[in-house]
Structure 1
C-alpha cells in the first residue's frame, strides 16, 4: 500500500508545482511562489552583485579634497557606453538578474501586477543601469515604477533615484523641483530623508546655490543611519561653510567629523584636521598649540599614508609666517612622499617655483614650473597660467646659463699655469674622494650580498651532502639538483666575480668588479688610471685659440646685455638689471653694447629716483656720444613723447613697407644696416626674420632655408626665433620639391611675360597697355600683377585663366588692335607651377619641358 502511494504523492506534488509556476493564474500559491522565488533567489543574487559593484566603485574612486566633495562617490567616464557594453561586470550581472526576475516571475494579469516583488526588480534594474552609467535606460526603469506601481512601498526610493539620474543628465533644476515636491508631500524619515536631502543638496551645489545646499546637507548628516555618510556629509557641510567664508561654522562641522573618529574612514578624519588647519587664524590663534597639533598628526604611525598632505600643511604654516627655508623643507618632504594627489604635487611645485622666482632664482623657478605642468591637466586654465610663467622665464634661463658657463671658462683662461694646476688638483682630489666613498659603499653592499650567497650556498651544500649520504632514489648527477646548481653558481661568483663568457676568462682584466676587489684588499682607487682624476685632462680642454676665446667673451657680454634688458623690462627687477649692465661695462664689451647699456642704466636710475646717478649717466651719454639718438632724446626730452623716425620701430615699419613693395634688395640692405645700428635691441630679430623672407623671395629656396635656419639658431629664445623654427618644422619640407606638375591637372593658369631689370625695359608702358586690354575681355575675370623674380628679372603676370589651352591662346582673347601692341613672347603656366618657379627660381627648366 505504501509503495502504491509514493507515485501518487509524487504526481500530486509535481502537479501542484506546475500549477503554482503559472504566471497567468491569480491564486495564493502562484503569487507567493513567484514572489518568494524572485525575492530570495534572483533578486537576492542581483542585489549582492550590485553591492559588490558599488564597493569596487568606492575602492577605485579618488576624492578631490581641493573642491567640494560630491555627495556620491562615483567616477563619471567621458567615453560613451554603447549598447551591449559595460564598465563593470557586477552591474551587468545585477541587470541580468533583474531582467530574469521580471521575465520569469512577473504576473501581469488583466493589466495588473500580482507579484509584489516586481517593483524591487525594476528598482534593481534602474540602479544597475545607473551605476553602469547608462542613465537614459535607468531613467526609464525608475519612471516605470512610478507609472506602474504607484502604491509601492519603494515609490519614494524610486523618486529619489530618478532625480539622481536627472542630475547625471545635467537636469539639476528639474531634480530640485521634484525633490522639493517630494519633501513637501511626503513625511520622509530615517535613511529615506537622508537620501532625498543629500541629493537635493548635490543639486543645489551643481547650480551654485551653496546656502540652500548647506541646509539640506545638514539634515542629511543628522538623519542618515550610515556612519560613512555621516562623516562625508558633515565634511561637505564644513566645505560649504568655508566656501561661504564662515570659518568658525566650518570648524564646528569638521569637529563633528573628528568626533566620529574610528567609525568613519581615516581619510575623512585626517582631511577634517587639515581643513581646520587651513582655517587657523594666524593673528589671534595659538601658534605653538597649532604646530604641536600638526606635529602630533605627523608622528602618528596610522597617519603615514597622509604625510604628503600633513607636510604640505606644515609648509603652508611656515610660509605664512615668512620662514621660507623651513617652508621649502616641508614642501620637499611632501614631494618625497610620492603623493598620488596630482593637485597637491602641482601646488607644491608651483609654490616652490614662486618662492624661487621671488628670490630671483629664475633658473630654479623654471625647473619647478616644468615639474608643475607635468602634474596638471594639459590645456586647462591653470596649466596655461603656469605655461605663460614658464615661457616668460625662457630667455632669462637661457642667458643666465650662457653667462654662467662662459664666465667659468673665461675665469680659467685668465688663471696662470700654476693656478690652473692647483685648481684642478683640488677638484680631482674631491672627485677621487667621492669615488672612493662610493666604491666603499658598493663594496659593503657586495660583502653583504656575498654573505647572503654563502649562507644559501652552505644550505645547498649541506643538502647535497645529505642527498649523497642518504642514497636517495633521485639522480645524484650534480646538474639535476637545483640547490646544488645554485650553490655552484654562488661559489663561482664568490671566487671569480662576474666574468664574461669568453676565452681567457681567468684574466684579472675580465673582472667587472675589479675596483671593488681592490677596495676589499685595502688598496685605494688609482686616480692615475682614470683621466677624470687627472688635472692635465681638464687643463687640456681650456680653450687657447684667440678666436674661440673672443667668441666666448662676445657671447657672455651679449648674455649680460640681454639679462639686463629682461630684468628691467619684463620682471621690473631694477637692482638685478643694474648689476648686469654694470658687470657688462666692466668687461670692456664691444662698442655696440656700451651706449645702449649706459642708456638703460640711466633709465634705471631714473626709475629708482637716484637723481645724482641720473645726472652722471645723462652727462656721460650727451658728452661722449653727442650724435647718437640717445643723446638727442636726452638733450630734447620732447622727442621722447613723439615717434622718433630713427627709432628701431619706425625704421622697421619703413623697411617692411619696402618688402610689401617687393623692393627686396633694399630690404636686405636696410635690414643689414639696421641690425648693425640697433645691435642688442629687441627689434634686431625682427629685422633678421624680415631679411630672411626677402632673401627667399629674391634668391630662392636654398638661400631662404639657410637664412631661416640662421634666425632659428641665433635667436632661438625670441618670438622670431620660435617662428623661424616653426617654419623649419612645418613648412620647409612642403617647399623643398622643385618638380613640376602636369598643367592639365589644374584649373588656374597664368600668362608670364619676362622683363630684364634695365632702365629702358619698357615695363611700365607694357603694363599700362596690358591692363587696358584685359579689361575688354568679358568672359574671364582677368587681372595683372608685377612680380619680382630675381634681382635681374621681373615678371608681368596675367591671372584668371581656366585652362592651359586658354593660357596658350591668351592672345586670341584680345581684340585685334591690342594684339598688335602686345607682341612680346610669354609663358603659359599653372598657378601651382608658377609657385614652384618663384620658390626655386627655375623658369628656364620649366621652359625646356614645355
Structure 2
C-alpha cells in the first residue's frame, strides 16, 4: 500500500514538472551512458601521454605547453567515438559543448592537428558559453604552436585578447599571454616574447607551466643579453617545483649565467653543491664538465685539463655525446689559448668534430669542424716547414759534416727499431696461464668494465690465452676440430722467423738523400717553398682563425725570405691591410709604398694607391713585360677581385695572348668564373630544380607515350579487333607527343649567364683543338637558350580546365566561397621584394588547395607578365603561401579558385 502511494505521488510530481524532469533525464542519460565513458577514455589516454619522459634541451628555448607524444592513441580514439555519439544521439543535451571540446583535445593529443583545429573552431562558433569560447581559443593557440604556424598564432591570439579585453578571466588571459610568447619565440622575436611572458607568468594557475615558464624566461633574457635578469629568472624556478629535471637544469643554467657575469666562485660553488647532491648522480659527468669549464674560465688550465680528462675517461660515468664533444673542445681551447700548442689543439678539435651529436645540442659558437680543418692545416704546414728547414740545413753542410749528421740519424733510427723489437719480444715472452677447469677463463677485474673492454693489457692476455688453447684457428666452420688448427709451435716458429727478419731489417736502414738540396739552385727552390708556406700560415691566421698578430708574423717572414713575386705581392698587401685594421696607418702606408713601388701595375697596388692617394710610378710597359703565365697567376690569386672581375680580366688576357698556351686555360677559367657569379643569384637553385623537374616529367611522359604506341602497334597486328578499335589504335599510333614549352623556367638566364655563353662561343671558335674543347662543348649544349614553342601550340593560360581538372576539388564560384590568404593578401605581397614599375597592377592566379589550405598546384592567368616578376611571386607562393581552410557542409573541402594579388605595395 505504501509503495502504491509513493508511485502515485511520483506520477503526480512528474505530471506537474514533466518538461524539467524530461530535460534532466536526457542530460543524465547522455552523461552516464556516453559522456562519462568518453571522459574516462580521454583521461586514460592523457595519463599515458603525459607520463612519457620528455627530453629538454637547455640550449634551445623549451616549450611551456609540452607537445603531445605518441602514447594513448587508442584511448583517444575511444573518447572521440563516445563523444561523437553525444553529437549524433544526444544533440539536445547540455553535453554537446563538452563533447566537441573533448573531441578537439583528443584529436590534438593524437597529433591530428587539423581535425583538432576544426573542432575548436566549431566549438567557438556554436557555443553560447563565453568560458567555452575562451578555452577553445586557447587550444586553437596550442594547435597553431604545434603546427609551427607562428605568424598565424600571433595574429589570432592578439585579436582574441584585443576583441575581448576585460572579459578574459585572470587565469585564461595569463595562459593566452604565455601562448603568445611561445609563438613569438618561434618567430625569434625575443623581446616581444619576454614582454608577454612577464605579463602572463605570475597569474598562471598550473604550477608546471610556471616552472617551465620561468625557465624559458631565463633563456630569453640570455638571448637579449640580459644576464642579471636571466639569473633571477632561473632562481625563480625553484619556487614552482613540479619536475626535478627542470629544477636541475635551472640550477645548471643559473651557475652558467653566474660564470658569464664573471662570478666564477659563485658558479663553482653551485656546481660543487649539485655534485654533492645524491639526486644528481646520473648527471655527474655533466656537472664534472661544468666544473672543468668553470676552472677553464678562471684560467686554471691544469685543473681544468684534469677535470676535462676525468669527464672523458671516467669509466664509472659515461658522458652524453654533447658533453663529450664539448670536453674535447675545451681541451682544444686550453692548448690553443693557454699553452699555444696549436698542433695538440688541432687533435682535440678533430676529436670534438668526430663525436656524433645533433647540432642543436651544442652551443652556437661550437665550430669544431672548421677549427679542426684550420688547425689541421696549421699542423701540416708547420711540419712541412720544419722538414724543409732541416733539408736546407743538411744541404748547406760540408760533405764531412753531412755524413756525420746522417750517421747520427741512422743510429737513432736503429735504436728506435731495437726498442720496438724488444717491446714486441717482451709481449711474446709473457707467461700465459690457462685454467683448464674454467675453460681458459681468468678472473676479471670489474673496474675495467664489462668483459674488460677498457683494459688493453687484459684484452691482449685473453687473446694470448685463446691462441695457447686453440692455436691459429681458420675462419671457417668446425674450427674447433683439432685437425684444422695449426699447432702453436708452428706459429712460434713463424714469430721467431719474423724476429730474425726484423733484426736483419734494423741493419739495412738507409737514409734517403734524394730530397736534400745540394746545389744553390735547389736550395733557392726550398727557400721559395718555405716562403710560400709562411704565406699560407699568415693567410690561415688572418682569414680563418682571426689571429692578426700571428698573421703579421708569418707574412713578414714570407717577404723576408727569397720568394716568388706572387707571394711578395699578396703578403705586402695583407700586411698593409692588417696594420690599417689595427689603426697603425704609418706601418700600413710603409707596406703600401713597398707594394706600389715594386709591383705598380698589379690590382693590389692600384687599390692601395687609391686608398692612400699614392701616385704610382709604374708604367704600362712595366706590366706588359710580365710573362702571360705570371699575369694569369696574379689574376687568379688576386683576392681583391670578385669572380666577375677576374673573369673579365682573364678573357682580356686570352685575347691579348691568343697564340700563347695559357690563353685557352684563361678563357676556360673565365667561363667558370662567370658561371660562379651567376649562381650567386638567390633564385638560381630553385629555378634549376624546377627546370630539372620539368624535364624529368617530360621524359616520363615520353616513356609512357612510347609504351602506349607500342601497345597500339601490337593491337593493330591482331586481326580480331573491330574496325572502331582499329581506328582508335591507328589514331594513337599516328599522334605525336607535343614537347612542352618550359622556357619560362630556364635557369640559365641573366647578365653573367649571357657573358658565359659569349666566352663559350669565342672559345669554340678560337681553340677548336684544345684539350678543353669537349668540356666547353658540353657547357655550350647545356647553356643554350631554349626555343619557345609557337603560339597556339599549347593550351592558353586562361584554360584552367585543361591544366587543373577539378576532380575532387570544388569550384569557389559554384559554392559561393573564396580563398582567404593566411595573414592577409597585403602582408603576403609586402614580403615580396618588388623593385621598379612593371606596368602591371595585379596578378591573377588559379589555385588548387587541399582541405588544410595548402597549395597543391597553381597557374598564372594574367598574360604578358615579365619573367622576373613571375619568379618573385612563384618563390613566395611556394615558400610561404597558405590559405584558411574553408568549411562547406560542416567539413573542410579541397578547392579550385582564382585569387588576385596586387603588384604594388600598399605602403
**Residues 1:107 and 1:603: Cα distance change in structure 2 (over 3 Å):** closer
**Using a 3 Å threshold, how does the CA distance of structure 1 residues 71 and 833 change in structure 2: closer, same or farther?**
closer
CA contact (8 A) 2:215 2:250 kept: yes
Moved more, 144-153 or 565-574: 565-574
Q: 1:394 to 1:429 in 2, by over 3 A?
A: closer
Mapping of 1:600-619 within 5 angstroms? none
Q: For residue 287 of structure 2, what is the aligned residue in structure 1?
A: 310
Instruction: Give the direction of change, closer, same or farther, for the CA distance of 1:540–1:127 in structure 2 (3 Å limit).
Output: same
Q: Which moves more between the two structures, 39-48 or 138-147?
A: 39-48
8 Å CA contact retained: 2:108, 2:143: yes
| Distance in 1 of aligned mates of 2:465 and 2:515 | 52
Is residue 164 of structure 1 aligned with residue 115 of structure 2? no
1:529 counterpart residue number? 502
Q: 2:228, 2:621 → 1: CA distance? A: 64
Q: State the shift of 1:118 in Å.
A: 4.3
Instruction: Give the corresponding residue for 2:875.
Output: none
**Deviation for aligned residue 1:288:** 4.4
C-alpha distance 291-546 of structure 1, shift in aligned 2 (>3 A)? same
Q: Distance in 2 between matches of 1:231 and 1:565?
A: 50
Structure 1 match to 2:629: 672
Name the counterpart of 2:473. 499
Asked if the contact 2:292/2:305 (under 8 Å) is kept, the reply is yes
Superposition map of 1:52-451 within 5 A:
52-56=48-52, 59=53, 61-74=54-67, 88=70, 90-91=72-73, 93-106=74-87, 108=89, 112-114=91-93, 116-151=94-129, 157-167=135-145, 168=147, 169-170=149-150, 171-179=153-161, 184-185=166-167, 187=169, 195=175, 198-203=178-183, 208-220=191-203, 223-224=205-206, 226=207, 228-240=208-220, 247=227, 250-258=230-238, 264-280=242-258, 288=265, 290-298=267-275, 300=277, 302-307=279-284, 309-323=286-300, 326=303, 345=325, 349=329, 352=332, 356=336, 399-407=381-389, 416-426=402-412, 429-430=415-416
**How much does 1:585 deviate?**
5.0
Shift of 1:499: 2.3
Quick check: 1:220–1:233 contact (8 Å CA) kept in 2?
no
Supply the distance in 1 between the matched residues of 2:547 and 2:267 (Cα, whole angstroms).
38
Are the aligned partners of 1:217 and 1:236 in contact in 2 as well (CA < 8 Å)?
no
Taking a change above 3 Å as real, the CA distance of residues 230 and 440 of structure 1, as seen in their structure-2 partners, is farther
C-alpha distance in 2 between matches for 1:94 and 1:425: 80
8 Å CA contact 2:141, 2:157 repeated in 1: yes
Q: Deviations over 1:806-826 (max 9, x none)?
A: xxxxxxxxxxxxxxxxxxxxx
Gaps of at least 5 residues in structure 1 are: 1-24, 76-86, 458-488, 519-523, 656-665, 713-718, 727-745, 747-784, 794-830, 837-850
Q: Tell me the alpha carbon deviations over residues 425-471 of structure 1, each in whole angstroms, 9 at most, x when there is no partner.
A: 445645665787689789999869999643599xxxxxxxxxxxxxx
Tell me: CA distance 1:376–1:152, structure 2 relative to 1, closer, same or farther (3 Å): closer
Q: Secondary structure at the match of 2:72?
A: helix
Structure 1 residue 65, shift from structure 2 partner: 1.7
Could you say what secondary structure the match of 2:628 adopts? helix
Change (3 A) 1:832 1:49: same
- Aligned-residue offset at 1:210: 3.9
Measured against aligned partners, the alpha-carbon deviations of 1:195-233 in whole angstroms (never above 9, x if no partner) come to 556435535656642453233443256x32x5x445323
Q: Structure 1 392/694 Cα, relative in aligned 2: closer, same or farther at 3 Å?
A: farther
**In 1, distance between residues paired with 2:198 and 2:578?**
60
| Contact 1:125–1:141 (CA under 8 A) maintained in structure 2 | yes
Change (3 A) 1:447 1:129: farther
The 2-side partners of 1:429 and 1:539 are apart by: 15
Answer yes or no: is the 8 Å Cα contact 1:497–1:513 preserved in 2.
no
- What CA distance in whole angstroms lies between the structure 2 residues aligned with 1:496 and 1:151? 83
Superimposed CA distance per residue, residues 363-392 of structure 1 (whole angstroms, 9 cap, x where no aligned partner): 6677777756986759x9969999888898
Matches of 1:626 and 1:172 in 2, distance apart?
A: 63
Distance in 2 (alpha carbons) for counterparts of 1:251 and 1:605: 40
SS at match of 2:57: coil
- For 2:423 and 2:278, locate their aligned partners in 1 and report how far apart those are by CA, in whole Å: 34
Tell whether the 8 Å contact from 1:598 to 1:617 is kept in structure 2 after alignment.
no
Q: State the alpha-carbon separation in 2 of the partners of residues 580 and 257 from structure 1.
A: 53
User: 2:258 aligns to what SS in structure 1?
Assistant: coil
Deviation string 1:221-279 (CA, Å, 9 cap, x unpaired) is 6x32x5x445323323444555566655544443343466xx64333222222222233
RMSD: 6.8
- The structural deviation recorded for 1:681 is 8.3
Aligned to 1:44: 40
C-alpha deviation, 1:298, in angstroms: 3.8
Preserved contact between residue 106 and residue 118 of structure 1 (Cα < 8 Å) = yes
8 A contact 1:46–1:95 mirrored in 2 = yes
Cα deviation per residue 1:743-769 (whole Å; 9 max; x = unaligned)? xxx9xxxxxxxxxxxxxxxxxxxxxxx
Specify the SS of the correspondent of 2:59. Answer: coil
Q: Check conservation: 1:238, 1:250, Cα contact below 8 A.
A: yes
Q: CA deviation at 1:356?
A: 3.0
Query: Aligned partners of 2:763 and 2:161: how far apart in 1?
Result: 74
The 1:29–1:305 alpha-carbon spacing in structure 2 relative to 1, beyond 3 Å, is: same
CA distance in 2: counterparts of 1:118 and 1:614, whole angstroms? 81
Q: Residues 618-661 of structure 1: CA distance to partner in whole angstroms, max 9, x if unpaired?
A: 99x99xx999869xx9xx999973464748xx899x88xxxxxx
Give me the whole-angstrom Cα distance separating, in 2, the residues matched to 1:640 and 1:48: 78
Contact 1:49 1:90 in 2 (8 A): yes
How far has the Cα of 1:97 moved from its partner?
1.6
Q: Deviations over 1:105-126 (max 9, x none)?
A: 44656xx532x55444322321
- Structure number with bigger Rg: 1
Distance 2:25 2:274 in 1: 63
CA distance 1:144–1:296, change in 2 (3 Å): same
Check 1:390–1:309 CA distance in 2 against 1; reply closer, same or farther (3 A cut): same
- TM-score normalised over the length of structure 2: 0.51
1:554/1:689 CA distance change after superposition, 3 Å: farther
Q: TM-score, normalised by structure 1?
A: 0.54
1:535/1:376 CA distance change after superposition, 3 Å:
farther
The structural deviation recorded for 1:139 is 1.8
Contact 1:297 1:310 in 2 (8 A): yes
Residue 100 of structure 1: how far off its partner (Å)? 1.7
